[in-house]
Chains A and B, each alone.
Chain A
Amino acid sequence: MKQKFDIIESTCVPIPVENIDTDQIIPARFLKATTKDEKFFGENLFRDWRYDENGNPRPAFPLNDERFSGEILVAGKNFGSGSSREHAAWAIAGYGFRVVISSFFADIHKNNELNNFVLPVVVSEVFLSELFANICDNPKMKVRVDVPNQTVTNLMSGRSEHFELNGYKKYCLMNALDDIDYLLSKKDKIEEYERSHE
């Protein structure tokens, strides 16, 4: 969903697992929808980790743990590997997350998040492990993500880091514009390219 980014301050939901692939974020059997119903995908986010085979919530999974809530998902290294399914980004957005913090993201999924106005924030391993520990000690602690200044701050420890975001994408996020709006404005350049490559 197109929305403007500025400063987000929120509690976090931690999933301290590495190599979370997009099949876990949204299993293939939920990919049959032909519409972008974020509510449906959000309800099935992490479906098989979140619910057992009878559809009962698994109490130990962080999304079912009432201590944890917020607009920020914190996940282990190499988040979003595997399938290119954008449904994974729709599920994350549909659940209500606006930011995902990890020390490493898979390339395709990272683009998919950005194209759906979910901000992937890459932090150092030190930042990430401290953050997991802090959330565990105090689930009410907050993290501040400042998009204009590209900083992420653990408000419990005070640790703050700069995160990467190119100027173009930052402008898009802060003004709720997407890439297609941009590309459609470049039709002349596309035709010029085609003429010179016939």
Chain B
Amino acid sequence: MNTLFDKIWDSHVVSNVEDGPQQLYIDRLYCHEVTSPQAFDGLRERGIKCLRPDRIFCMPDHNTPTHDQDKPIADPVSKAQVDALERNAKEFGLTHYGMLDKNNGIIHVVGPEKGLSLPGMTIVCGDSHTSTHGAMGAVAFGIGTSEVEMVLASQCILQQKPKSMSIRVEGKLGRGVTAKDLALYIMMKLTTSGATGYFVEYRGSAVRSLTMEGRLTLCNLTIEMGARGGFIAPDETTFNYLKGREYAPKGEDWDKALAYWKTLSSDKDAVFDREVVFNAAEVQPMITYGTNPGMGMPIGGKIPSSSSKKALSYMGLANGERLLGHKVDYVFLGACTNGRIEDFRAFASIAKGRKKAEGVIAWLVPGSWAVKKQIEDEGLDKILEEAGFEIRQPGCSACLAMNDDKIPAGKYAVSTSNRNFEGRQGPGSRTFLASPLTAAAAAVTGVVTDPRELL
């Protein structure tokens, strides 16, 4: 009567610390440039090497510019951080995908698409959105830099085991309603601390029918509910996605792995510490109005009267106001939340045959070079160019504005990223989080628009 979370977690416990946490073995560590330099310094200070370099993959994504990547990064501080990662990877013998390398991209987009994140694994990275990899049927969670150092040094981490939570979504998502809307809906119901202390398993027919891209989006946003991570038990969708990917097992190894992966599910009578159930039919296209991702509402709704005054004052909005028809200055498609091929297909489905609204600045940023190539292979770039959009080069971009892609103070952005915190997309920026369809609808009309009207 074990949950899948128990099975994966417990099978990775190396030892139990007396009256303390558990020592957990980590199958995969990802490092990006922002949260790793001090961890490598720590190894040097202690005079130690990485215990298992073959389990560690590094790539810059937060600071990378989204244009002219062939030229040196203009900001010397960003450049120093990106260079430090390359230097550290080389010194410690780790695989590194630098800018312009066809393998580069946002770490949470690249890991699954290369088959580096596999069912049953434990996966960590110094980045809260590591929860994304849970879509592959893995226990994946974000950690701090001290913990990155622990894994570099020992391939282990000390952690208290979180409690388990089941989020079951039954039924069918409506037309124009995406995995992003489902996640924003769940956050609206649970708040940003509603799942703190828990590890989430997503279940139910609506979850099963999500594509791999949709699952990655849903798991990505689990951290925004406060949970360390969220995952979906692997099934045919997962196996079909993984087969033939570069680092996925091949031949006999594949058969062996597949047989094991098929055992990865919660027992029928498994007991979760907490269970919630939602009805997919009730989910509508969602948009946020406040300064945390839990402050969302159906796109046609009115801002609730209970909203935080501080948040609304920052956003320049009022209680009872509707967002439909609200002016939009920027549109951002991308990030580890919505920077995958399906997100570009969705955006293009609305942009096709229409034109970008005058006055809207749109940044369309693929999550990886592989996604960019697929956009071109499918001819989506042509459709988008005809509509007045430009496809940029991959990276985290305006999600957290560590590169040049910053939303100016006071401006409104419809963004497919994951956080609408004060200043997140640039000092003073105002973010409406939404799906790629809603972002496209805003980009072609210049105002917040229900995407179902344009489908």
27 A-B pairs with C-beta separation under 8 A: A21-B419, A23-B423, A28-B400, A28-B401, A31-B62, A34-B80, A35-B41, A48-B422, A53-B427, A77-B193, A78-B193, A84-B35, A84-B130, A111-B143, A111-B144, A167-B18, A168-B18, A168-B19, A180-B153, A180-B154, A183-B154, A183-B158, A187-B154, A190-B14, A190-B25, A193-B25, A197-B25
A189–B23 touching, CB < 8 Å: yes
> Chain A: residues with CB nearer than 8 A to chain B?
17, 19, 21, 23-24, 27-29, 31-36, 48, 53, 77-78, 81-87, 89, 104, 106-108, 111-112, 115-116, 166-169, 178-180, 182-184, 186-187, 189-190, 193-194, 197
Q: What is the CA–CA distance of A106 and B292 in the complex, to the nearest angstrom?
A: 14
| Among B46, B143, B428, residue most surrounded by chain A Cβ atoms (within 10 Å) | B143
A84–B292 touching, CB < 8 Å: no
Q: Per-position contact with A for B42-55: 1 when CB-CB < 8 Å, else 0?
A: 10001010010000
> Chain B: residues with CB nearer than 8 A to chain A?
11, 14-15, 17-21, 23, 25, 34-35, 37-38, 41-42, 46, 48, 51, 62-63, 75, 77-78, 80-81, 84, 126-128, 130, 142-147, 149-150, 153-156, 158-160, 162, 192-193, 196-197, 223-224, 226, 228, 292, 310, 400-402, 409, 419, 421-424, 427-428
User: When A and B form their complex, what is the total count of cross-chain residue pairs whose Cβ atoms lie within 8 Å?
Assistant: 179
B193–A19 touching, CB < 8 Å: yes
B35: chain A residues at CB < 8 Å are 31, 84-86
Q: Nearest 6 CB-CB pairs, A to B?
A: A168-B20, A167-B19, A115-B146, A86-B144, A112-B144, A34-B37
Whole-angstrom distance between the Cβ of B294 and the nearest chain A Cβ? 8
Known: A27-B427, A77-B193, A107-B196. A182 touches B17 (CB 8 A): yes
Known: A23-B422, A186-B14, A190-B25. A180 touches B292 (CB 8 A): no
A179–B150 touching, CB < 8 Å: yes
A180–B21 touching, CB < 8 Å: no
Q: What is the CA–CA distance of A193 and B15 in the complex, to the nearest angstrom?
A: 9
B75: chain A residues at CB < 8 Å are 32
Q: What is the CA–CA distance of A77 and B226 in the complex, to the nearest angstrom?
A: 13
A83: chain B residues at CB < 8 Å are 127-128, 400, 419
Pick from B20, B37, B143, B149: contact of A35, CB below 8 A: B37
A32–B63 touching, CB < 8 Å: yes
Q: What is the CA–CA distance of A42 and B295 in the complex, to the nearest angstrom?
A: 30
